[in-house]
Amino acid sequence: MKKLLITGGFGKIARYFIQNHHHQYQIIAADIVVKEGVFPNVVQVEEADLRDAKRCLELCEGVDTVVHFAGMVDPVSESDEILEVNIKTTQNIFKAAVAKNCHRLIFASSAQTIESYHTDIQVHKDMLVKPKNLYGVSKCFGEALAAYYANNKTISAISLRIGAYEFPNDFTEMNARDLSAYLHPDDFNQLLVGCIETEGIKYEVLNAISDNRYKRLDITEAIEKVGYQPKADAFELFALKRE
């Protein structure tokens, strides 16, 4: 079994992945706040503040793949705290992963890295980043840092630009942009497994949305590089829910 460290392990995205794939991997779920009874006993739970570099080194000991979900998620606020927290924690955990000879980094980036492009433009990975908020800026930093370590150290890295991740049963209302960037949780889990298992990758930026009829981001690279096979189409899925 590969040993995974998943930061932000109690967040919505990480929690769903762990609950569905704990039998497939040896998992450490690390978060600044932990709760009892969320995961099966086979999952190792660690309370950790990633601003503590020493703690990050402890967490990365013997780990094959670091999946970094932790950080402040706030596309609205322009608080300096977003940069302070997201940049510091990302640097600490990436540096620790390199120091402890982890095989791969998987960074949870965001579609917010390109959100200043007009909504009628489909964005592919070779287009320049164009964030619309400081949260997006912090994700651009993470992508750059992952590229730096992958291209200058012995670690492999993948940045996933995650779209509008939503459980269908939690659906309230989505605009056209949200539908075009929709990411079904099951599609993301399959993509993440592909990122963990696929060998021969030095560094990639992959777009993470479902197979929506109209796509905000191009998913060709994800399909070709890690065998992504998305099933959901937001325009069909949520149209049916509204009937």
What is the residue whose two structure tokens read 């690279």?
221
Smallest CA-to-CA distance from 111 within 166, 186, 149, 33 is with 166
With beta carbons less than 8 A apart as the criterion, state whether 110 and 203 touch.
no
Q: For residue 11, give the 3-state DSSP assignment.
A: coil
Q: What is the pTM of this model?
A: 0.95
With beta carbons less than 8 A apart as the criterion, state whether 113 and 139 touch.
yes
CA separation for the pair 232, 210 (Å, rounded)? 6
Q: For residue 22, give the 3-state DSSP assignment.
A: coil
Structure tokens at 85: 């927290």
Write the DSSP assignment of 119-133 as a string of letters.
TTS-B-TTSPP--SS
Domain boundaries, the chain: 3-242
Determine the pLDDT at residue 164. Answer: 94
Q: Could you report the average pLDDT of every consecutive run of 10 residues in the chain (243 residues)?
A: 97 97 98 93 96 98 98 87 95 98 98 94 92 96 98 98 93 82 97 98 98 96 98 86 45
With beta carbons less than 8 A apart as the criterion, state whether 109 and 207 touch.
no
206 phi/psi in degrees, rounded to 5: -120, 140
Burial 218-228 (b: 16+ CB within 10 A, else e): bbebbbebbeb
Determine the pLDDT at residue 46. Answer: 97
- CATH code that applies to domain 3-242: 3.40.50.720
CA separation for the pair 69, 188 (Å, rounded)? 13
- pLDDT, one tens digit per residue, over 71-104 is 999 888 888 899 999 999 999 999 999 999 999 9
CA separation for the pair 74, 83 (Å, rounded)? 11
Estimate the crossing angle of helix 80-99 against helix 134-152, to 10 degrees: 20
